[in-house]
Amino acid sequence: MSNKQIVGTFLGAVAKQDLETVREFGYADYIQHNPFVPTGLEPFIGLLPILKEHGTYAENVRMFEDGNYVFMHNIWHNAKPFGADEMVAFDIIRVDENGKVAEHWDAMTALVKGTASGRTQTDGPTTVEDLDKTEANKALAVALIEDVLMGKNPSKITEYISAEQYDQHNPGIKDGLSGIVEAVQSLTAQNNMFEYNKIHKVLGEGNFVLTVSEGE
């Protein structure tokens, strides 16, 4: 089984409350980084009745694989246990050398119906292309963050982001390079502009790249 198949089987078992399969594909000392979910496989299993009570389930929009990491874009429905009726999440799962689900990270935010761009938080392409360009695309994403978001050379923003087409899925920012500039000006005026300090992980498959960064 590929790591994507392992993760898909594990998450399917979670949704169905199939504890035998959850235990088969989950590592006993499963590490959890969501601060509201207990670490360890059995404590995690202990949370499942709460999800069942609320009818909480994930709708997968995208799933990609990079080595022993699988990263996903999900919509969580009936997600009150996580903070809102509907949540959008980026999930990362590490599969260990024995094919067990061993570690999980996520970033969740409430689903927004009316966005600044008119786009949803999850629409857009889902098919992986240009597999031969994976490493180059990862390097491009890192350079964008270092130059623009971390302030190494912010004037290079037009080398990374097209002034002609840039589809934005952040619900508070409009499409295009002008949308980013407007958002930065607004946040700066409010003394609320975030700063990126460190890149922790860069995961990619073809034309899709996910960066995990730390900021304030």
Task: Give the model's pLDDT for residue 195.
Answer: 78
- Which of 11-20, 66-75, 147-156, 206-215 has the least mean pLDDT? 147-156
Q: Which residue has the tokens 């299993």?
A: 45
pLDDT band for 35, please (50, 70, 90 cuts): confident
Reference 123, options 59, 210, 203; nearest CA is 59
Cβ contact 95:26 at 8 Å: no
pLDDT at 37 over 90: no
pLDDT at 191 over 80: no
Residue 206, classified by CB atoms within 10 Å of its CB into exposed (0-12), middle (13-18) or buried (19+), is middle
pLDDT at 193 over 90: no
pLDDT at 29 over 70: yes
Across the range 122-148, mean pLDDT stands at 95
**CB under 8 Å to 202, separation ≥6 — which residues?**
138, 141, 142, 209, 210, 211, 212
pLDDT at 94 over 70: yes
Task: Give the model's pLDDT for residue 5.
Answer: 96
| Fold category of 3-110 in CATH | Nuclear Transport Factor 2; Chain: A, (3.10.450)
- Strand runs labelled E in 7-99: 26-32, 57-66, 69-77, 86-95
d(CA 7, CA 187): 38
36: region left, alpha or beta (phi > 0 left; psi from -120 to 50 alpha):
alpha
pLDDT at 155 over 90: no
- Strand runs labelled E in 16-68: 26-32, 57-66
pLDDT band for 192, please (50, 70, 90 cuts): low
pLDDT at 194 over 90: no
Give the residue extent of every domain in the chain. 3-110, 131-215
pLDDT mean across residues, the chain: 92
d(CA 60, CA 74): 5
- Of the chain, the percentage scoring pLDDT greater than 70 comes to 99
Between the two ends of the chain, the Cα-to-Cα distance in Å is 39
pLDDT tens across 164-189, in order? 889 999 999 999 988 888 887 887 78
